[in-house]
Amino acid sequence: MGTGTSQGVPMIACNCAVCTSADPRNHRTRSCIHVVMDGLHIQVDAAPEFRLQCLREKITQMDFFILTHGHADHINGMDDLRRFCDLLGGTALTVYTTDEGMNRILSIFPYAIAERPVSPGYAAFKLLQMPEKLELPQGTIRSTLLPHGGINTLGLIFEEKSSGKKFVYYNDCKRLTREAVALAKEAEVVVLDGLRVEPHPTHMNIEEACAAAAEISAPICYLTHLTHRIEFTEWSKKLPAGVLLSYDGLRLQL
Ligand SMILES: [Zn+2]
Ligand SMILES: [Zn+2]
Ligand SMILES: [Zn+2]
């Protein structure tokens, strides 16, 4: 749904070649994804553009929500989850996250911590700790903590029961732990934080992400959370085989 870094691309008041590019693949809303696993609809993070992303991608269903961490670019769209509380019949939407994520939700959206919306059309969240392994009739979602500066991000591994296919989403991290690499093995598709060319204290840059992709040896790796320093066509040619740039609106059928 979104593949941009926290400032988005175009960035405010920037006239660089990427920010002024006519190629829609150089226009990046803030990062979040929607996963459909054997008919189960799971939203991971809610970017500030979440409402616009839902309209663009025609998202009409959500069974639960996972917040990877409490940074503004992943949490600020959560009020717009209210529509999915309506669509669930006026009940609270289940939200899985970490302690850090819960504390941020409690401080930003205290009005939404309720069993059902206070009034029709309001948001209501039922907060639950994301387990290491969430067993569902449609498959399994595993989680692992990824270092992201002073906090940890939830890395997520989706395994669909009917197809046996595995999809991995490791956004917003400085490096992958041994456990994260092991859990990502044999995935059909892995998504990694790739940010930019220059090193960054809390994100992997392109070089670090390519090294992580090689360590996992996934057949297809998509880089996300990209800044305005990454021109789509230019960088697509420079990346190693099997490593690709993601873009807003990208749909993957595993
Ligand atoms: Zn972020
Ligand atoms: Zn720019
Ligand atoms: Zn972050």
pLDDT tens-digit readout, 61-97? 999 999 999 999 999 999 999 999 999 999 999 999 9
- Bridge pairing between strands 189-193 and 166-170: parallel
Q: Which of 178, 181, 193, 187 is nearest to 225 (CA)?
A: 193
How much distance in Å is there from the Cα of 148 to the middle of ligand 3?
A: 7
Q: Which bound ligand lies closest to the C-alpha atom of 17?
A: 2
Q: Work out the mean pLDDT of the chain and round it to a whole number.
A: 97
Kindly report the number of other CB atoms within 10 A of residue 118's CB atom.
Answer: 11
pLDDT band at 191 (very low <50, low <70, confident <90, very high): very high
Decide if 146 contacts 173 (C-beta within 8 A).
Answer: yes
Q: Which bound ligand lies closest to the C-alpha atom of 28?
A: 2
How much distance in Å is there from the Cα of 112 to the middle of ligand 1?
A: 23
Q: Which bound ligand lies closest to the C-alpha atom of 7?
A: 1
How much distance in Å is there from the Cα of 231 to the middle of ligand 2?
A: 10
pLDDT of residue 186: 97
pLDDT band at 228 (very low <50, low <70, confident <90, very high): very high
CA distance 193 to 73: 14
Adjacent-strand bridge partners of 142 = 133, 157
How much distance in Å is there from the Cα of 10 to the middle of ligand 2?
A: 6
How much distance in Å is there from the Cα of 68 to the middle of ligand 3?
A: 9
Decide if 169 contacts 160 (C-beta within 8 A).
Answer: no
CA distance 222 to 169: 9
Q: Two tokens at 70? A: 């409490």
Q: What is the mean pLDDT of residues 155-169?
A: 98
How much distance in Å is there from the Cα of 248 to the middle of ligand 1?
A: 15
Decide if 75 contacts 46 (C-beta within 8 A).
Answer: yes
CA distance 202 to 107: 23
Q: Two tokens at 76? A: 């600020």
Query: pLDDT over 90 for what percent of the chain?
Result: 98
CA distance 82 to 29: 20
pLDDT of residue 184: 98
pLDDT of residue 179: 98
Q: What is the mean pLDDT of residues 1-13?
A: 98
pLDDT band at 232 (very low <50, low <70, confident <90, very high): very high
pLDDT tens-digit readout, 95-136? 999 999 999 999 999 999 999 998 989 999 999 999 999 999
